[in-house]
Amino acid sequence: MTHPLIMVAPNGARRGKADHARLPLDLADIVAEAILCHAAGAGALHLHVRDADGAHSLDAGRYREALGELACTVPTMAVQITTESAGIYGPAEQFACLDALRPAWASVSLREIARDPDLAPRLYALAADQGIRLQHIAYDQADLELLAQSRAAGIIRPEQDEVICVLGAYAPPRAGRPEELATLAPALDGLRLGLCAFGAQEQDCLLAGAGVGAEILRVGFENNLLSPDGSPWPDNAAAVVSLRHHLERKAA
């Protein structure tokens, strides 16, 4: 049996050291965390970079530096950049980031790019033309409907079929529940599924996703700081180890 790919999202756009002392913000910490998480079983990293003040950034130069360091340090770990707005960036800036970097892999929020109906087709065309692997971010059923409509209209190409569903929410805080998958399932036909979840049921949600064929399970401090018993994880690698062990037990 083939295990889903474990992707670690070690920091995200919003949390800081006040939330968890081991949340990596600067490049040295991100690289160190990537090494630990890769050794723990994560085959991919969802990359956010921060500016000098620790705030979310889509700066292409910071991304290039991080991608270069990670390629040297963990060359067998796939790296996906985010183009997330986080309430700071508009579609034009998100497009500019993708255009400047032209990375191997990027995540793109369907609803954020749809804010500019003229720019959205250009972004998906850029990705197709440059061979950028896209993972669409879907926060709810409405986003999955938008994905279906955009695919039907030819805005999103047939091969751009990778989606990550987010269970729960950061603000207002809402913990993800495994049962949410059942409501999303009808809209997932023909898509390659990834999954992440907020809250202490994160691992239960991810294991439920593995049970319905999710190819990518994203774990880490971006979405959740707590182990299933409600105590804080010591670090991202501990969450990766736990998920890997659960997957191995299910496959045994």
Q: What is the pLDDT of residues 77-109, one digit of tens each?
A: 999 999 999 999 999 999 999 999 999 999 999
191-200 pLDDT, tens digit per residue, is 999 999 999 9
**Which band of pLDDT confidence, cut at 50, 70 and 90, is reported for residue 1?**
low
Q: Does domain 5-251 bear CATH number 3.30.2090.10?
A: no
- pLDDT at residue number 133: 99
| Residue type, position 136, single letter | H
The answer to whether residue 211 scores a pLDDT higher than 60 is yes
What SS3 state is found at 94?
Answer: helix
Cis link prior to 172 (omega < 30° from 0)?
A: yes
% of the chain beyond a pLDDT of 70: 100
Q: How far apart are CA 59 and CA 21, in angstroms?
A: 25
Find the mean pLDDT for residues 60-68: 99
Find the mean pLDDT for residues 155-178: 96
What SS3 state is found at 99?
Answer: helix
The answer to whether residue 144 scores a pLDDT higher than 80 is yes
Which helix or strand (DSSP H or E) is residue 248 part of? Answer: helix 236-251
The answer to whether residue 3 scores a pLDDT higher than 90 is no
The answer to whether residue 163 scores a pLDDT higher than 90 is yes
Token representation of residue 23: 């949340």
- pLDDT at residue number 87: 95
Annotated domain spans of the chain: 5-251
150-162 pLDDT, tens digit per residue, is 999 999 999 999 9
